[in-house]
Structure 1
Amino acid sequence: MMMVDGLRAWLRNRVRPVARDTRPHGDAGSHSPRIFDVRSAGEWTEPVFAPRRLWSLREDVLLEFDDDMTGVTVATEWGDIALGHPGDTVREALRRMTLGPTVLTHLFAPDGDGSDWLRLSTVLAEIEHCVVHSLECRPGAGSCLSAVPISRFAGFVLPAIEAEDRMRLSRFAAIRLSNGELVLESPLSRHRVILHQPPAVSVVGAIGDGATLDQVVHDTRLPAELVRALAEHLAAVGMIVFGEPDDGQGRTWFAEDHDPELAAWSHTDLMFHARTRTGRRHGPIGATFPHHGALPPAPVVKPVPEGERFPLYTPDIAEVARTDGTLTEAMETRRSFHEFATRAPTAKQLGELLFRSARVRSIQPHALETVQDMASDRPYPSMGGRHELELYLTVERCEGLPSGTYHYDPWEHALTRINGDVAEATELLDAARVTVGTAGRPPVLITMTGRIARLSWTYSGIAYSTSLKHVGVLQQTLYLVATAMGLAPCALAVGDLEATTRVLRLDWPSEVSVGEFVVGVRAEQRN
């Protein structure tokens, strides 16, 4: 009993309650075990069972031992951690943790003095960003819930939840399916929570937008200790937040709703930010070639669609370089135009704009890949020469070019008319008119689409975010060239996914709209 009593005393000093009215991150704390009292099972149909904590190491963590098998180094994606000579018990605990979730308390003698556990807890605190915390809800059924660290700054501490505490899911939390299991994620958390079994899913659903422990027990018909244990694990990683009574009208005040730093973010934007940067995400990221050998690379230039072809004017670049203003002049005079002259731009001007901004200058095998995968060189930069963007022109009026919708072939420098339906073209142009804020329809709408497979074949986790960056550099290039040519350019903030997909005859989601740009003649120019 000495071991257990000492352990309980140590726990009381190590486990602290969740701080109220603060943003949850679940980042501080230790790896102390939790002793659960068995209470009434209520409507629980399984035998009464005290939930048990389990520990394991992330699947990508490796243990390296010295020649004499006494020294241990933990190899992680964030670097190696030399633990020195932690002792036989700690080495055995770490070895078991590499095999999967394990009950560490089984390693310690009931009459021990607790020193081995304290040594292990010190080691676990040093590598806590590699430790997966799981909960067993049924005897021998394995993990019901697992909290997996995804940041080198991840920490874990179980809070003390009182029966009257009002809790809810964070408004940034979301559930999705991953590898056949439900995963609960939040950009505010440095963990992802895997909901292995129905009790975990039931508790998450019952907490929803606000509940107490008693309400969750009533709604799920699960044992109170099981509900408490699951809620504690969710709170430890910031998936649920706690509130205080508001103004006496029965409402609950949650700090998350009143944090000015969080108010600026939607769930979608903050999750997109967190998962397309290193440091707070799970899985590979960057140039990992995830589909190499499984899928063929997408062609560097999209096959020319069927339709009437319109070769475009090709300017003499040497003459352009001689007569153009300076880059500084173009950058200093660049601005967005929201009104356009009644006079239409010419097909020659469009040809020059596209040639100087987006043509393919050359195609060559990619240095890091097979000869079947080609890279291109164009006036605007693209990561790895992928150049996944396609350009479509919806023409309201253009001298020398019929109205309609066209695809731009950057290799042959020509347009292909893919849709002659005036009503459908008008739909896109009217939407652009509203976004630009102009009285009439813009003369020419340039829609940028992304063939995401061009990027995802090479890059993991960042394909779409990279495509949006490419939209930015292409828009800047179009701005500078249009300014140098004396045209009236304007980038659009948003476009209609459904209308664009239909009018441009896109094979969504293989090719998706990602940006818009309009161009016309400056209103101050006279006929």
Structure 2
Amino acid sequence: MSTPLAHTRYALRTGVTCLTVPGGAILLNPPHKEKLTGLGAPETQALKTLNRGPSTLLEMTGGAAEPNGVTTLLDRLSAGGWLATTVRDGARDLYTVSPFSTPPARTATPAAKATLSKFTIIHRDSDGLVLEHPTSWCDLRIHDPRLLALAAGADPAELGLPADISTQLAADLHWAGFTVADPATEDTTFTTRSWSAPDLWFHRRSTLGPRVITWDHFGPTQWAAPDFPQLPARRPDYPSAPIALPVPDLSTLRATDPTLTAVIEDRHSTRSFDDTTPITLAQLSELLYRTARTRSVESTPDGTERPSRPYPSGGSVHELELYPVVRHVAGLAPGMYHYDSFDHALRLVAPADSPAVQRLVKTTSATLTEAAEPQLVLLISARAGRAMWSYEQVAYANTLKHVGVLLQTLYLSATAMNLGAVAQGFSDTAAFTTATGVNELEECNVGSIIIGTPAAPR
């Protein structure tokens, strides 16, 4: 720990409990703990003061002239990541270094002015502004907005801040890994250049690791249950009249389908389709029934709904919906439809001449041979609240996993039916929102796959 500025305030980091005993103490933050022994009366008193809340060195020592023992204890606690440290200017809080794992040893701050890393983000949460970095051991919480300008390189004198505040902030940003001496160094190796900030943040935020070591606020916690009802399993119907779809004979398919090994080995992406013999409404109906129908809904004692469909879904939330965008399907008028997986029916969402639907068709051409237009695109959307009501931090990551298993289910079923399929790594989310008229935060496009009659091999 560097020499603290005057009025620096210390606190046990969130989740830490300190049990003091004669001559020692035990620090607890499951699954971590540390035993402190050989403590004198000043150190024990300092720990008791910290247990009551944030304290300055003066408050912990009662104004003792020789606080060396307490300073040494603070150094040890800081090195172990047990303390959150708030730097202040007089009685005004400026920023707090909040650890969530053990910090590295401090190294010399670069002489040249450092720059924020491309991975450092600044955002607001329920407690205010915070700087975060996906590979850091701490967060840096901003209490005074002048510190944002200071972190960006502003002159502390122009901000009305003492020069030593700038020195301390630079040292703490460097220690936390929020800054780099030369921004170009982050792009000189493939390892760092290959990661974008959103990708690295998504990875770190949706997995267990240094930031998340318990299940208290991670995974299927049903965090929203006390304040919000779960969204119903069934999406509200679009107002158009339903188009009933024929139900395939699963008993016959069980007997006549190719084997699982055959469809796995024969599966491939098809980029050329035969418009002279397009996919039929009956084939579309069979594909939807085999892959995405709602087979049943279980109601749990606490009132949540757990649908069952042919593909798996974490917690049986089944937040995904299918939207067939039809250009050329025999027996079905062009347009954008929603698949009602409960009634096995289609409802028209937007007509074929809608500019948004035309965009949804045309943007798939980049996937097909000679920029051809698809016979059929199945857009996959997520009713985000179905997953986010239950899951903390991993909801969107789980949704993308669900998209993956649904795409594979569609691929294998299409292969069994002698249909061609090719999944897309992108789709026009803005056009989807325009065509459906939905709030993107309530339902968003998360995947797409082109389906049709494959062209004969050349």
TM over 0.5: yes
| Match for residue 410 of structure 1 among 341, 360, 381 | 341
Q: Tell me if the contact between 2:273 and 2:454 (Cα under 8 Å) persists in the aligned partners.
A: yes
Indicate whether 1:317 and 2:250 are aligned. Answer: yes
TM-score when normalising by structure 2: 0.91
Correspondence for 1:383: 314
Whole-Å Cα distance in 1 between the matches of residues 348 and 262 of structure 2? Answer: 35
- 1:135-154 CA-to-partner distances (Å, cap 9, x unmatched) read 11x2122x31111123x3x3
Correspondence for 2:75: 121
Correspondence for 2:241: 308
Whole-Å Cα distance in 1 between the matches of residues 13 and 149 of structure 2? Answer: 26
- Give runs of aligned pairs for residues 29-108 of structure 1, distance below 5 A: 32-34=1-3, 51-65=6-20, 72-83=25-36, 86-104=39-57, 107=60
Shift in Å at residue 85 of structure 1?
Answer: 6.2
Amino acid at match of 1:386: V
Correspondence for 2:207: 277
Structure 1 residues 268 and 426, CA gap change in structure 2 (3 angstroms): same
Whole-Å Cα distance in 1 between the matches of residues 6 and 383 of structure 2? Answer: 48
Q: Tell me if the contact between 1:134 and 1:145 (Cα under 8 Å) persists in the aligned partners.
A: yes
Segment drifting more, 75-84 vs 474-483: 75-84
Whole-Å Cα distance in 2 between the matches of residues 522 and 56 of structure 1? Answer: 66
Q: Tell me if the contact between 2:206 and 2:394 (Cα under 8 Å) persists in the aligned partners.
A: yes
Shift in Å at residue 62 of structure 1?
Answer: 1.9
Shift in Å at residue 357 of structure 1?
Answer: 0.6
Correspondence for 1:364: 298
| Match for residue 379 of structure 2 among 428, 444, 447 | 447
- Give runs of aligned pairs for residues 82-481 of structure 1, distance below 5 A: 82-83=35-36, 86-104=39-57, 107=60, 109-111=64-66, 114-115=68-69, 117-119=71-73, 121-125=75-79, 128-136=80-88, 138-141=89-92, 143-150=93-100, 152=101, 154-155=102-103, 157-161=105-109, 164-206=111-153, 216-217=155-156, 220-243=159-182, 254-281=184-211, 284-342=217-275, 343-366=277-300, 370-371=302-303, 373-424=304-355, 425-481=357-413
Q: Tell me if the contact between 2:7 and 2:91 (Cα under 8 Å) persists in the aligned partners.
A: no
Aligned residues: 451
- 1:114-134 CA-to-partner distances (Å, cap 9, x unmatched) read 455435534543xx2332122
Shift in Å at residue 235 of structure 1?
Answer: 1.4
TM-score when normalising by structure 1: 0.80
Indicate whether 1:512 and 2:444 are aligned. Answer: yes
Whole-Å Cα distance in 2 between the matches of residues 391 and 404 of structure 1? Answer: 14
Correspondence for 1:495: 427
Whole-Å Cα distance in 2 between the matches of residues 319 and 130 of structure 1? Answer: 65
Shift in Å at residue 272 of structure 1?
Answer: 1.0
* Sequence identity percentage: 30
Q: Tell me if the contact between 1:448 and 1:513 (Cα under 8 Å) persists in the aligned partners.
A: yes
Amino acid at match of 1:395: V
Amino acid at match of 2:151: V
Q: Tell me if the contact between 1:51 and 1:229 (Cα under 8 Å) persists in the aligned partners.
A: no
Correspondence for 2:417: 485
Q: Tell me if the contact between 2:98 and 2:139 (Cα under 8 Å) persists in the aligned partners.
A: yes
Whole-Å Cα distance in 2 between the matches of residues 111 and 85 of structure 1? Answer: 18
Task: Tell me the C-alpha RMSD between the 2 structures.
Answer: 2.4
Shift in Å at residue 509 of structure 1?
Answer: 1.3
Whole-Å Cα distance in 1 between the matches of residues 30 and 353 of structure 2? Answer: 55
